[in-house]
Chain A
Amino acid sequence: MDTVMTNPNRLRLRLIALVALVTIAGTDAVASPQFSVELVGGRIKGDDTLKVRQGDQVLVSFVSDQPIVLHLHGYDIDAKVAPPAPALLTFKADVAGRFPVHEHRHGAGNHRAVMFIEVHP
C-alpha cells in the first residue's frame, strides 16, 4: 500500500493519526464533572438524567426540602440529605450503564427512581 500512496495521502494519514492520538490523550485525563440537583417533595427539578463519561470522577450535590436517603443502584452508594445542608454523592464512574437513583424507604411501596446517571463509554 505504501508504494502506491501519494504524498498528500500520507500527510492526511499522519494528520488522522495525530488527531487520534490527541483524542486518546484527551480521554486519558480524568474529568471531574460536578452536578447540583434540587429535590422538591422527593422529585427532581429539571432534567432527570445526568450524563457522564466512563472513568470520570463524578460529584453530585443534592439539596432537598425534606430529609431523604438516596441510593445509587449498581454502584450501591447512599447519600443522606438532611436539609438545609446539601449532601454529596461522589464516585468514580468505572462501569458504563444507566443507573437509577432511588429514594430509600423501608417496607413495601413503589420504588420509583428519583433520577438516573448515565455512564457512557
Chain B
Amino acid sequence: MTASAHAHGFGQRFDLPLPLWLWLTGAGATIVLTFAALALFARRRDFGTAFLCSIDLLQFAPLRRIAHPLAVVLRTICCALFALTLAAGFFGNPDAYANLIVTMVWILWWVGMAFFCALVGDLWEVVNPLPTLYRAAVRVIGCRESLGWAYPARLGAWPAVALFFAFAWAELVWQDKDVPRALATALLAYAALSWVSMLLFGVEVWRSRADAFAMAFRVLGRFAPLELRSSTPTEPARLRLRPYAAGLLANEPVPNSMAAFVLLMLATVTFDGFHQTPLMERIETAAQTSRPVAETLFALSATGLDETQWLSTALLLLFPLAFVLIFRGVGAWMLRLAGSSAHADLNAMVWSLVPIAVAYHLAHYATLLLTTGQFIIPLASDPFGWGWNLFGTRGRAVDLGFVSPAVYWYGAVALIVIGHVLAVIVAHVEAVRRFASHRAALLSQLPMVVLMVAYTSLSLWIMAQPIVG
C-alpha cells in the first residue's frame, strides 16, 4: 500500500449488506422463536434456578495454583503494552496505519477486549494497567493508597455515564481519533484523570463508579460464562463457571445511573451501525436543506467542528435519550399490565437487553476485528513505524477475503437471533422474580417482548443496509 492510500479514515468496513431473504428469515425466526421460548419457559415458575448454577473453579487446586501467577504475568504484559502504545503514539510515525496505537486502541483493545469480555469473561478487571501501575507507584513511594475523600453517593455511576459518552463521541465523531499523537494525548489524559481520582477517592471507588471502561467491560462480562474478579482488600478473588447470560440475573438493585449506563452502551453501538446507513445520509441532506437547521449548524461550525460532526453529535445524544424514554415507557406499560399490586423496580430489566446488544456488537465488529485487526501482525514487528522488523512480519499485507460474505451473513443473523432468545429468557426469569403472581409476570412480559422484537429488528435492519460511511 502506498502512503497516500492511508488518507481515508482508519478501519474502513467492506461488509456487503445482508440479502433481503436472509434479513426476512432472521426477522421471522426472531418472532417465531420468541413465542416458542415463552411457551416453553413460561409454564414453569422455577425455571430460573437451573440457569443460575455456577461452579467455583478455584476449588480445584491446579487452577488455584495457576490463576494468581497467570494474572501477574498478564498484568505485567498489559502494563508493558500500555507503555509501548503510549510511546508509539507520542514518538512514532504519524501515519495511522504505520503506528501501533491506532490499531491497538480501536481494534485490539476496544473491539477485541469487548469480544473477550462478552464471550469468555471480564478479563479487563484483572489486567487493567491503570490500577496496576497506580498501586505499584504507591508501593514504591510508600505513601497511603488514597486520601480517602468521601465519594458523593448521589453521583452514583453518573461520572461513568458522562465519560462513556465522551468516549463514544471520540469513537464516532472525533476527527483526530486516527492521529497517533492526538490519540496518545487522549489516552494519557484519561490515565491522569484515573490516577487523580484513585488518589482522591480510592481505586475501587473509581473502578466501580466512574471508570467508563471498567464499567463497560463489566457489563459485557456479565454475559460471559466465566465470572472473573481479582481480589480486593475486602473480597477474595473469584473464578466461577456459569451458563451464558446467567450473570445478567444479578440480585442487587440497579440504580438509575447504572440503567442509564447500560442503555447508553446499547444506544451507541446501535448508533455506530446506524450512522453508516443511507438513512443517516438522507437525514444529513435533509438537515442541510432545512433552513433553520442548516443555519444553526453553520453557526455552530465556527466552533471547530464541522456541520456533519455537529449533526452526528446531536444524534449521538438523541439516541441514548430515546433509548431511555422508550425503556421507561415500556417499564410503565409493564407495571400497568401486571396490575395495581406491582411496584417493582424495573431497572434490572436493562440486563435482559444486553444479550441482543452483545450479539449485535459481535456481528457488527467481527469483520473489522478479523480484517483490520490483521494490521497487528506487521505492527508487532514495527510498532513505531520506524522501519524495524523485529519478527520478520513487517509489510505483511491484510487479507480482506479472510471472512467470506456468506460466513459473515449467516454468522451475523445466527448471533442476533440467539442473542434475542437469551434476552427473552433472561427477561422472563427477571419478571418471575419481581411479580407476585404467574399471571402478572406473564402479562408484564408482553411490552418487554415487543421492545425486544423491535430492538432485534432494528439491529437486523442495520445489517441489511449498505454501508455508506
Contact = CB atoms under 8 A, between A and B. Distances in A.
A21 B198 CA distance: 68
A102 B400 contact: no
B401 A94 contact: yes
Given A49-B466, A97-B405, A110-B308, A120 B12 contact: no
A102 B17 contact: no
Contact of A118 (B1, B4, B8, B16): B16
A71 B8 CA distance: 10
A96 interface: yes
Nearest to B17: A98
B15 A98 contact: yes
Contact of A104 (B4, B16, B175, B467): B4
B133 interface: no
A102 B8 contact: yes
Nearest to B402: A95
Interface string B1-19: 1101101110010111100
Among the interface residues B14, B17, B401, B468, which one has the most CB atoms of the partner chain A within 10 A? B14
A71 to B, nearest CB: 7
Contacts of A98: 14-17, 466-467
A76 interface: yes
Nearest to A96: B405
Nearest to A111: B8
Given A74-B400, A94-B401, A96-B401, A111 B9 contact: yes
A110 B306 contact: yes
B406 interface: yes
B468 A113 contact: yes
Contacts of B405: 96-97, 120-121
B16 A96 contact: yes
Nearest to B19: A120
B19 to A, nearest CB: 9
B400 A97 contact: yes
Nearest to A100: B12
A106 interface: yes
B404 interface: yes
Contacts of B406: 121
A99 interface: yes
A95 B367 CA distance: 14
Contacts of A49: 466
A96 B404 CA distance: 7
Contacts of A102: 8
Contact of B466 (A74, A76, A111, A116): A116
A96 B407 CA distance: 12
A119 B16 CA distance: 8
Contacts of B9: 111
Interface in B4-50: 4-5, 7-9, 12, 14-17
Given A98-B16, A104-B7, 15 more contacts: A76-B1, A95-B400, A96-B16, A96-B404, A97-B14, A97-B16, A98-B15, A98-B17, A106-B4, A110-B306, A111-B7, A113-B468, A116-B466, A121-B404, A121-B405
25 contacts: A49-B466, A71-B8, A73-B14, A74-B400, A76-B2, A76-B5, A94-B401, A95-B401, A96-B16, A96-B401, A97-B14, A97-B15, A98-B16, A98-B17, A98-B466, A98-B467, A100-B12, A104-B4, A106-B7, A108-B175, A110-B306, A113-B468, A116-B468, A119-B16, A120-B16
Task: For the complex of A and B, list the 8 residue pairs with the smallest distance between their C-beta atoms, beginning with the closest.
Answer: A97-B14, A95-B401, A95-B400, A96-B405, A111-B8, A76-B5, A121-B405, A98-B16
Interface of B: 1-2, 4-5, 7-9, 12, 14-17, 175, 306, 308, 400-401, 404-406, 466-468
